[in-house]
């Protein structure tokens, strides 16, 4: 399962690789990383249908996570990838907007990786 992680914090990559090292080792999950909304869209265009799940931060300079979400839901609809939003601001406004734009899930920072793993497994199945 290919998961695209979008966050402007570069250390997210190391963190995910460590947290999911068993899953990566077994080939259960394969991660790709993008550091901005623009990069994420570029990746999705270049690797059509590869990523089945997208984990995106909301607060990023330039294109925000919510904009990225809107673009994904508009452009990549066959089949629509699962998009989970992650934000440091777990407020109602962000949540509602994400849901309205068609987010499949909404997580707040700091990430609870145990919970995330469970959710990922659910989505895969």
Partner 1 sequence: MRAWGLSQGPCYAALLTNMSTEFIIIILVVVYLRRALKAKLFIPEWHDRLQWLLYASIGLIVAQVVTDNFRILLHWVGMIMLGWLLYNLNKNEKFKEAKFLVTAIVPYLAVAFVIAVIRLIDIDLYNEWRGWADAIQTFAVIWGVGTWIVTRKQRKELIRAKQKAHEEEENNKVISAMKAQLEVEVAERTAELRKQKEELEITLHELKSAQTQLIQSEKMASLGELTAGIAHEIQNPLNFVNNFSEVNRELIAEMKHEINVGNMAEAKNIAKDIQDNEEKINYHGKRADAIVKSMLQHSRSSSGKKEATDINALADEYLRLAYHGLRAKDKSFNAKFQTDFDDRIAPINIVHQDIGRVLLNLINNAFYSVSEKQQRDIPGYEPTITVTTKKIGDGRVEIRVADNGNGVPKKVLDKIFQPFFTTKPTGLGTGLGLSLSYDIIKRGHGGELKVETKEGEGAEFIIILPIQ
Q: How far is the CB of 66 from partner 1 (least distance, A)?
A: 8
- Per the rule left: phi > 0, alpha: psi between -120 and 50, beta: everything else, 59 is beta
Q: How far is the CB of 95 from partner 1 (least distance, A)?
A: 10
Give the integer Cα–Cα distance in Å for 65 and 57.
6
Residues lying near partner 1 in the complex (CB under 8 A) are found at 9, 11, 14-15, 18-19, 59, 61-64, 67, 88-89, 91, 93-94, 97, 109-111, 113
SS3 28: coil
Give the integer Cα–Cα distance in Å for 70 and 39.
15
DSSP assignment string, 46-86: HTTTTEEEEEEES--SSS-HHHHHHHHHHH--SSPPEEEEE
Closer to partner 1 by Cβ: residue 80 or 90: 90
Closer to partner 1 by Cβ: residue 52 or 117: 117
Q: How far is the CB of 6 from partner 1 (least distance, A)?
A: 15
Closer to partner 1 by Cβ: residue 61 or 79: 61
Closer to partner 1 by Cβ: residue 43 or 113: 113
Q: How far is the CB of 89 from partner 1 (least distance, A)?
A: 7
């Amino acid at each position: 399962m290919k998961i695209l992680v979008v966050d402007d914090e570069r250390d997210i990559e190391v963190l995910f690789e460590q947290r999911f090292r068993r899953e990566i080792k077994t080939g259960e999950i394969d991660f790709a990383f993008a550091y901005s909304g623009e990069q994420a869209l570029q990746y999705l265009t270049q690797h059509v249908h590869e990523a089945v799940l997208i984990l995106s931060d909301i607060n990023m300079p330039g294109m925000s996570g919510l904009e990225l979400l809107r673009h994904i839901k508009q452009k990549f609809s066959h089949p629509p990838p699962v998009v989970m939003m992650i934000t440091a601001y777990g407020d109602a406004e962000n949540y509602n907007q994400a849901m309205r734009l068609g987010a499949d899930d909404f997580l707040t920072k700091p990430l609870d990786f145990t919970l995330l793993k469970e959710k990922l497994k659910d989505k895969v199945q």
